[in-house]
Structure 1
Amino acid sequence: MPIQLPPGLPAAAALREEGIAAEDAGTAAQGSLRIALVNLMPDKPTTEVQFARLLGAAPGTVSLSLFAADGGGARRTAEAHLARFYTPFTRLRAAAVDGIIITGAPLETIAFDAVRWWGDLASLFDDAAAERVPVLAVCWAAMAAAWHGHGIDKQALPRKAFGLFAQTVRDRAAPLMQGIGPRYVVPVSRHAALRPEAFEGAEACVLASSPAAGVSIADNAAKGVTMVLDHLEYDGETLIGEFLRDRAAALPVLPPAGLTREARAELPWRPAGHLLMRNWLGRVTSAAAHRRPQDMIGWLLAPAREPAAAGELVLRIESGAEPLGGLIALAEAWGIGLAAFARHPSGTLLTVTLAVTTAREAAEELAARTLGLPGVREAYLRGPGHAGMAFRAAA
């Protein structure tokens, strides 16, 4: 199944060369999982390819949107690329997506509260927990999740853990570890660690670890936060590139341990990466189904009930929201007649039948403008003249 990427994103061409179906996302992706990638890495284009590769190889369709820290942290990414494809993560709302991936960042030696946008990231973790949206936090972001959610602080390592490390799976029955087996290898590149003993008595549990580098994967299933300290998304040359960059900067770094020429070519960590991503997307799917029950999905996908009308506008709204008055005012301003209204029993879907005289362009403009109404998360047009067009509130 394809992965849907922001139109024009260069990562799409790179993925197609590998045989991964990548396509431009339209206004919506019917039946897709909406994943937000909060990309905190300096080289954002490379990280886009790496995570999109794992997402695109999983079953089902994923629609990926890109977010970054505002005002910095992208020293190896062109400003034009940032401006075209990225949104500040302060505008991301968990309710607008089905899952969130937060990447690592070169911040392990800095106290969390010294990071300029730490408060915003902590708020994002809280928002995701409140909306029951699964989070996959990687490397530094995993340490941030452990600190914010459990008070478990990172521990500085005497020397950077750098290379290909073997990990032991501590809970093979855990849904996230299904199929991975008792051991796997993974690229590690960090100056800090989380110690397994720190999780004793915590709500989160350790799923995999190594004696040399500590926790590799930890999970809080109740809150839907998965912490992956290492880099199952890496390419064969990523660690070598980091080594050469650090050496050029005269940093005291050794070549990546255990990374042989054969390992760089064969990528022995890639199967575990695919399995973990597939298993995590299974959690995302289950959580999305819980938030948007099947009868609600059927309501959204049902054909328009009034074939003689211009179509129907279906709004997904927050519980308790009452956008009808604002919707009527918008319709009057645009000269659009509203023929009928119907509300789903859950109270979170509102269907509006448009008068037969409504032009397609006017209907689309109305749908887009409803996203400015309090509590409206999505607007979906269906029926004559509308091929399942959807709009989503800006994240």
Structure 2
Amino acid sequence: MRVSGKIYLDYQASTPVDSDVLSGMLSYFTHDFGNPHSSEHALGWSAAAAIDRARSSVASLIGADAEELFFTSGATESINHVIHAVCRSRPLDRTKILVSAIEHSCVLRAAEAYAECFGLTVELIPVLSSGLVDIERYRSMLDSSVALVAVMAVNNEIGTVQPIPKLSELAHFHGAYFFSDAVQAPLALKVDVEAWGVDFLSLSAHKLYGPKGVGALFMRSGLSAELFPLMHGGGQQEGVRPGTLPTPLCVGFGLAAESVISRYSEDYNQLLYKKDYFIASLKNHRVAFSLNGIQGELCHPGNISVSFHGVDAHSLLTKLQPILCAATGSACSSGFIEQSHVLRSIGLDEASAASTLRVSIGRYTDLLQLEESAAHFSAAIKELLS
């Protein structure tokens, strides 16, 4: 899509809200604005019914029962909830958390913080150059001391799709809980929490054409009674996640989930076609590059992690401003650039990691934008190399 003339190629960071989703949300800001927890009048009933419909829709997206799904402010909150709850509630002989080496930084930082707080240790599960978890190394790390395993379903930088059913089965064999951060998953594969065997799973609406500020936590039936909540308050959502729910955002999440379900095959096939078209366009413009991570069906169809040979990625992206919106393979915090832990974990050397950009395409990306983007990349790289 174009935003004020800019080409947007950063869909894995955030997606635009679908126009039908936005339309469906609007009345809950102005007309149906009642508190969904006000149980004594009609506006409250109407809002509560809308929340229930949205919960059922999001649950259907992941093959869950509505009673197993709790709305949160986003995946960050859901991730913190799970790790805090398991660390605080675990048997005392469960002293380790295993997380994949390419988890989102939120999972890594939350695991470190709560492990320190409650006296556990965190161990990183190695991955192969494809980004897939090293199964044999993973097996060797599992034992009766593991409280929780966390492996994201689809990586946010390189798009790798993990074999979650196998990984969760191995964790459960040793009595550990299994959590998957699945914010990137619904557009890359059909999520089924029952088939996957996960105990916990996190989602964010803004990754699938819904609004920012709302996410969901799946918690397998029966677990909420065993674990401490992250927050305490008025008892909403069975006390698992208290606080007044933002009805418009929840409605938007539900509508976005319905859209993903109904359009899944169409969107998936179009993303694959656009991805191949962009890669071919780069080649046609004689751009020297290599792709990172696994390709094909085990990669997010809209993800392209690409190393541009001999070019610094930050300089390239700066050169492309304000024309093109993409992302580097690094994280910038308080002005300091830190090389991506994901790229390091899959074995990229410093030069290759420093030359890597993540181009992510989506529902509103068209072929003309991709052809123009390839031309812009080519021109900018030639200038930098000269």
TM-score over 0.5 for the pair? no
User: How high is the TM-score relative to the length of structure 1?
Assistant: 0.28
More helix by share: 2
The structure with more strand, counted as a fraction of residues? 1
Which has the higher relative contact order, 1 or 2, with Cα contacts under 8 A spaced 6 or more apart? Answer: 2
TM-score, with normalisation over the residues of structure 2?
0.28
